Amino acid sequence: MASESIPLSELLQCLVECSQKAARIAQIFRDENDLFQLLVEEKTEIEKNKRFVQDFKTLADVLVQETIKRDVGEQFPSLISNICGEEQNKFQNSLGESIVVELTESEEDTATLLNKVLDGRDHIAKSLASVVHSSEKTCVNQYSSPCLIPADNVGIWIDPIDSTAEYIEAKNEEKEALGIQQYGLKCVCVLIGAYEIHSGKPILGVVNQPFFKRKTDGSKWESKFYWAINYGPDCATSTTLQNESPQQEKVAVLSSSESKELQDIIASNYKIVHTAGAGYKSLLVACGMADLYILSQGTTYFWDTCGPHTLLSAQGGGMVRFDEAVSASHVRTHEDLLEKQVQYSSESVSAGNESFRNAGGIIAYRNPVDVIEVLDLLREKKYMCKK
């Protein structure tokens, strides 16, 4: 029997709408500061990202992920089994009760479920349930195309709230370098990526900043979303990506935890800016605010990179595996870089997060010339020989 085909433009529109709903959920939780403190749950040792001493998940994470799964599954039922995310759908409230977050078609059922987690805060439960079940379209049609893709060739990765630590700490003060926010709520992103199952290639990405700006301290947060498609003849990006102003000097964004050796080498050719969030760093490169995002450590996962990867590839860039690219002496051209791209799958979900870890690090780039230049620099300094 022939596989069902999905209109690519309709899938994009659905994921953009999902990202906007996710942003609203994230905003509601942050607006209730006293409530938010009750919703932070330390992750189990199995789920922890080893880079952090404490890694957290929140009900907001779980609710966003399950809402996206529900909405995509309602519009495209054939995709349900191929939607994966960072979080498990179990949560424990402040009374120690374990609750499984499963969304039905009933807004009342969702409110009742959330009320248990929220320890009786009925008005917040109802407010969240209203957003979860809203069918209101918030975005104009983003893209039109006759392109179809077989449903059995589409996988989706979700990071419901990337940069959870920044989300929890919620520092609002502006601390920028070259116009780049170094920490705080602006670094928080909702990441949704679709990939081609047969090839592992990312084909559609949506990145949403729920806390992009607010006019005054007391006003509501305004979100901003970015998207890209790179599938067959369809290659397009949102106007939000096209409207950003590129830097006038070479900039690389890194984590402050990178080794001094690596940072010193990069600093010989680039201005280094430390900032939070894998999704935010990749977004900075996609927007032209930075030339490279370099990460030598295996601390990102497919849910961190799948969405942003398409924003880069649709502009002629990409995301390569750091260790393989640096150690391969033959990487000299854009075609060579294409062989080292991160490839996506979800075949071993039951095996745990290690199956989806970018174990050798990553380099995100928009211009192939930049990444080839930095690879040559690292080899010249014999960086890998000292590892």
Show binding-site residues for Mg(2+): 86, 159, 161-162, 304
370 is catalytic: no
Whether 162 sits among the annotated catalytic residues: the reply is: yes
Cα–Cα distance for residue pair 294/47, rounded to 1 Å: 24
Q: Name the binding residues.
A: 86, 159, 161-162, 304
Active site residue 164: yes
Whether residue 298 contacts residue 331, with contact meaning beta carbons closer than 8 Å, is answered with no
Helices 278-287 + 302-313 axis angle, to 10: 0
Is 305 in contact with 356 (CB distance < 8 Å)? no
HEC letters along the chain: CCCCEEEHHHHHHHHHHHHHHHHHHHHHHHHCHHHHHHHEEECCCCCCCCCCCCCEEEHHHHHHHHHHHHHHHHHCHHHHHHEEECCCCEEECCCCCEEECCCCCCHHHHHHHHHHHCCCCHHHHHHHHHHHCCCCCCCCCCCCCCCEEEHHHEEEEEEEEECHHHHHHCCCCCCEECCEECCCHHHCEEEEEEEECCCCCEEEEEEEEEEEECCCCCCCCEEEEEEEEEECCEEEECHHHHCCCCCCCCEEEECCCCCHHHHHHHHCCCEEEECCCHHHHHHHHHHCCCCEEEECCCCCEHHHHHHHHHHHHCCCCEEEEHHHHHHCCCCCCHHHHHCCECCCCCCCHHHCHHHHECCCCEEEECCHHHHHHHHHHHHHCCCHHHC
Could you say which of 28, 149, 161, 168 is catalytic?
A: 161
- 31 in active site: no
Catalytic residue among 159, 166, 234, 370: 159
Active-site residue identified among 61, 234, 291, 323: 61
Query: Is 380 labeled as catalytic in the residue annotation?
Result: no
Out of 166, 304, 323, 370, the active site residue is 304
Q: 262: exposed, middle or buried (C-beta count within 10 Å: 0-12, 13-18, 19+)?
A: buried
161 belongs to the catalytic site: yes
Of 162, 196, 234, 291, the catalytic one is 162
34 given a catalytic annotation: no
Q: Which residues are catalytic?
A: 61, 86, 159, 161-162, 164, 304
